[in-house]
Amino acid sequence: MRERFPDLVFHPLPGALPATRVETTPTQLVTLCRSVREAGGRLVTLWGEDLRDEGLGFRLCVALDANDALILAELRLSADNPVFPDLSGTFPSADRLQRAVRDLVGLRAIGGDARPWLRHGAWPTDVFPLRRDAPASSPAAPAEYAFVRVEGDGVHEIPVGPVHAGIIEPGHFRFSVVGEKVLRLEERLGYTHKGIEKRSEGLTATDGARLVARVCGDSTAAYAWAYAMAVESATGTTPSPRALQLRAVLLERERLANHLGDLGALGNDAGFAFGLAQFSRLKEDLLRANAAVWGQRYPMDAIVPGGVRGDVDADAARMLTANLDAIALELARLREIYDNHAGLQDRFLDAGRVSPELASQLGMVGLCARASGSTRDWRNARPVFPYTHDACATVTRSQGDVAARVAVRFDEAVASIALCRGWLAALPAGDLSVPLGTLGADALGVGGVEGWRGPVFVAVRLDAAGRIRRCHPHDPSWHNWPALEHAIIDNIVPDFPLINKSFNLSYSGHDL
């Protein structure tokens, strides 16, 4: 990138996640994004910052995965007219991110979809919650949402949600169908907006860790590690090898727990209640083992900036290994049942297919992308200790259907068990936690790990007192929700719950 853009000044960011910071003009930003895309890279996320109290207007930050480097491109915008070039033509997943940054900060893309994304009538159109001068509360402002309509003989609409049966979080799905065949699906999300980014302002790094770990309950290890990594980057802190290896055990157990839960739910959605019962039991065993060792079924406070809270002694390591051994044995038996069950395979095969070409075009990430031929996995591509470039074989399939996403889950579950067994058998010595280092001016840090859905990314900017000025957590679901709209096309309406579950994307982490 330095050779391609000799007029840009790249500043390396310290920390475990290799990253480079660069300030751009609008034209340079567009050219940089196109160059990253042409080289096979992708958009990680984008967000906005209000710097008017420093006399600097606004700043748009764009994180790019350029394969050989993570680039954080920054674009200064005027306080009077904060506009920036539309990036959705280069990265389709930028569309909803741009709509969100307009709703939250008031930064406007020139072009693209101008509809609101997060507002839902919750605040007036001239109020932007992430601006420094935003009121603590404001009156609701009802607004209509302009869904895209499909017209023609026999076409009708089926609105689903936003409130669903059971405990599923809210999201609106509008199907345009002929008979039972789906012609188009349009999603509207953002109903679980909790104001996490605003709430983080002014918190200490320690309090911020507790907040970010609760962005998404099924990805707490991923968010907590990415946040800790960002704070450590901003403060020049290096945790001990023991702490890092314990973090990895937590992350892989989180991956395993979610894959077990999803495999059971997918069986149930295909009419195979036996699968739900068995996988639910295995997941429960894993969560109870977590509670015995870390005091929490979902260990939200086990990973902290500087290290971890709580050790795994020899007895705990043996108990966790025995738990993994038991799960591995039953996982193999259940996979044989799933693979040879004609009814399940009839529902899984060819349902909700996303071709490798479409997955690449849309910028899909994580297990869903790997089920459509992608080889991207930050555990190998951007490894942090104890991961290495060949720590685990990247599991891929090319069919891109429900069956492929099921197969990836089975394979990744086996790999997570193997990784945890090895790490628990050879935990290195070292402190559980080390003090955070000193802060520099405008201390910025980034962190990211391969969560069970895909790359979880966190950027943190700290002030001189060590308090959070801006924190941006990013969920991989931002990139995969649009793909679900394509996956359902030409399938029948009754298959949507199964296809949706095979993606199992986050509402809460996506909406913040």
- Which whole number is the average pLDDT over 30-53? 95
- Which residues touch 346 (CB under 8 Å, ≥6 apart)? none
* DSSP letter, residue 492: B
Which residue spans of the chain are classified as CATH 3.30.460.80? 1-145
> Is 80 exceeded by the pLDDT of residue 2?
no
* Sheet with 155-160, side-by-side order of all strands: 155-160, 172-178, 181-188
pLDDT at 121: 82
pTM: 0.96
Strand partners, 446: 459
Q: How confident is the model at residue 464 (pLDDT cuts 50, 70, 90)?
A: confident
- Residue (of 260, 210, 190) closest to 416 by Cα position: 260
Which residue spans of the chain are classified as CATH 1.10.645.10? 241-430+476-511
Lowest model confidence (mean pLDDT) among 112-126, 219-233, 356-370, 464-478:
112-126
Structure tokens at 114: 């101008």
Buried (b) or exposed (e) across 243-281, using 16+ Cβ within 10 A?
bbbbbbbbbbbbbbbbbbbbbbbbbbbbebeebbebbbe
Q: How confident is the model at residue 165 (pLDDT cuts 50, 70, 90)?
A: confident
Q: How confident is the model at residue 441 (pLDDT cuts 50, 70, 90)?
A: low
The CATH code of domain 241-430+476-511 reads: 1.10.645.10
pLDDT tens digits for 326-349? 999 999 999 999 999 999 999 999
pLDDT at 392: 78
- Which whole number is the average pLDDT over 177-181? 93
CA distance 236 to 13: 10
CA distance 36 to 177: 37
Q: In 3-state terms, what secondary structure has residue 401?
A: coil
Lowest model confidence (mean pLDDT) among 33-42, 123-132, 314-323, 412-421:
123-132
pLDDT at 69: 84
> Is 80 exceeded by the pLDDT of residue 262?
yes
Q: In this structure, are residues 105 and 83 in contact, taking their beta carbons and an 8 Å threshold?
A: no
- Which whole number is the average pLDDT over 484-500? 95
Kindly list the distances between the CA atom of residue 494 and the CA atoms of 75, 160, 183, 491, in Å, as whole numbers in the listed order: 45, 12, 14, 9
- Which whole number is the average pLDDT over 318-325? 98
The CATH code of domain 1-145 reads: 3.30.460.80
CA distance 210 to 502: 30
CA distance 9 to 137: 41
- Which whole number is the average pLDDT over 368-397? 91
Strand partners, 156: 177
pLDDT at 144: 82
- Which whole number is the average pLDDT over 138-155? 84
The residue type found at 103 is: D
Q: In 3-state terms, what secondary structure has residue 424?
A: helix
> Is 90 exceeded by the pLDDT of residue 168?
no
Q: What percent of the chain has pLDDT over 70?
A: 99
To which residue do tokens 């801006």 refer? 470
Radius of gyration of the chain (CA): 22
pLDDT at 391: 73
Helix-helix angle 402-425:496-503, to 10 degrees = 30
Buried (b) or exposed (e) across 494-507, using 16+ Cβ within 10 A?
ebbbbbbbbbbbbb
Which of 211 and 140 is assigned the larger pLDDT?
A: 211
